[in-house]
Amino acid sequence: MATPEGTLSWAPATEHPHLLAAPVAVALGHAPSARVAPIDPTLADTAAFCEAYESDPAHSANCVVVAGKRGGEVRRAAVLVLATDRADINGVVRRHLDVRKISFAPMDEAVALTEMEYGGITPVGLPGDWPVLVDEGVLAAGTVVIGSGIRGSKLLVATNELAALPTAEVLQLSL
């Protein structure tokens, strides 16, 4: 039976900053339980990761960057939802950000603004003015595997710490 930890050897993230994107390493005070494990970067995508490392997809969360406009102002946010769920981007997230139209941020923009690798973007260490919208299902999972800011590792974090991030808001986001 798959577990969140899977077959990986996890270690305190604070002891392995070389396995993290720089903004993630700086922000670890917001996720003191975070543990990190190196992975094959070609297996960073959630489905491949879960299969290769026998990690339970119900304890794996994806973080996506969205952007919308209202009155010429671009509003960005990070959306965190379990790998087994789908976020209601065009409904709940769009209304919450009060934008007329919303979409996933272009890859080059998301990478530049977060200072993280595409496929490794994580809610820990994001720009301080971005809302981090955490689905209730993530919180209910207790512990989740998330990105580390790079494709070559993953973080294992207590979900109550994600809900306590400075700009986090817990919402019913999944369809």
Strands (DSSP E) found in 7-131: 11-12, 35-38, 61-70, 73-82, 101-104
Cα separation of the two ends of the chain: 26
Q: Quick one: DSSP state of residue 44?
A: -
CA distance 95 to 157: 28
Strand partners, 85: none
Residue listed under structure tokens 């975070």: 34
Label residue 2 by pLDDT band (50, 70, 90): confident
Residue 175 has a pLDDT of: 78
* Mean per-residue pLDDT, 26-37: 97
CA distance 101 to 74: 11
CA distance 103 to 72: 15
pLDDT in tens, 88-130: 999 999 999 999 999 999 999 999 999 999 999 999 999 999 9
pLDDT in tens, 134-152: 999 999 999 999 999 999 9
CA distance 37 to 92: 33
* Mean per-residue pLDDT, 48-57: 96
Q: Does domain 11-171 have CATH number 3.90.960.10?
A: yes
Q: What is the pTM for the complete model shown? A: 0.94
